């Protein structure tokens, strides 16, 4: 994290609820869940241009975007920035890092003043291990989010297979399909 990041007051149940309601898959978490999850969260502010995390950093937290916009991008081997998505209020980023101990797959940069609710991996894992029902419900919500993303990726891949793609592109799509659908380990 950058040095100019500000830590704010502990997260209230209302702030937790507002952040979760902005994400459809988390809107099913109830007030009791938010009451149990709020103490696990830290509110942070990032000024414009701040980097929340870099590609290949350790995945140590997930972020619920309470306000502002965050650009997610990768860099190619030549250092050129390849934009992936811009997340706005109600976005979620870094959740993969809570579920698997992999390095960050992209860089996240604040496109203006940004306020996030941060959930550290250590806190999350400890609560899941304890069997905290709210942490388990959040795990299920993350699984739903990732399953929806995978289903969307599969659909897009099918569309690409239907299009007129070159031999090399078809080969790469076949490899991606095999990786997504049959290889359960890296």
Instruction: For each of the domains in the chain, give its residue range(s) and CATH number, in order of start.
Output: 6-132 (2.60.120.10)
At 3 the pLDDT is 45
Name the residue among 47, 60, 45 with its Cα closest to residue 97. Answer: 60
Q: Give the number of C-alpha atoms closer than 13 A to the C-alpha of residue 78, restricted to the C-beta side.
A: 2
How far from 173 is each of 99, 101, 147, CA to CA, in Å? 26, 26, 20
Per residue in 134-154, pLDDT (tens digit) is 999 999 998 888 888 888 777
1 pLDDT higher than 50: no
At 177 the pLDDT is 66
At 61 the pLDDT is 93
Helix (H) or strand (E) holding 83: strand 81-88
Question: How confident is the model over 102-127, as a mean pLDDT?
Answer: 94
What is this structure's pTM?
Answer: 0.81
- Which structure tokens are listed for 149? 């993303």
C-alpha span between 161 and 174 (Å, rounded): 9
Per residue in 81-103, pLDDT (tens digit) is 999 899 998 889 988 888 888 88
Where do the H-state alpha helices sit in 22-166? 31-37, 95-99, 121-129, 133-162
């Amino acid at each position: 994290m950058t040095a100019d990041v500000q830590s704010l007051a502990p997260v209230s149940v209302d702030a937790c609820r507002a952040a979760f309601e902005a994400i459809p898959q988390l809107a099913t978490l109830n007030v009791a869940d938010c009451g149990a999850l709020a103490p696990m969260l830290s509110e942070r502010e990032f000024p414009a241009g701040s980097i929340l995390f870099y590609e290949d950093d350790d995945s140590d937290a997930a972020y619920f975007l309470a306000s502002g916009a965050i650009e997610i991008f990768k860099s190619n081997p030549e250092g050129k920035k390849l934009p992936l998505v811009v997340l706005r209020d109600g976005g979620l980023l870094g959740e993969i890092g809570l579920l698997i101990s992999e390095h960050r797959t992209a860089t996240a940069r604040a496109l203006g003043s940004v306020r996030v609710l941060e959930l550290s991996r250590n806190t999350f894992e400890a609560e899941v291990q304890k069997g905290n029902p709210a942490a388990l419900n959040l795990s299920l919500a993350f699984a739903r989010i990732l399953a929806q993303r995978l289903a969307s990726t599969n659909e897009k891949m099918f569309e690409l297979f239907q299009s007129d793609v070159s031999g090399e592109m078809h080969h790469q799509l076949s490899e991606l399909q095999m990786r997504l659908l049959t290889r359960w380990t890296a």
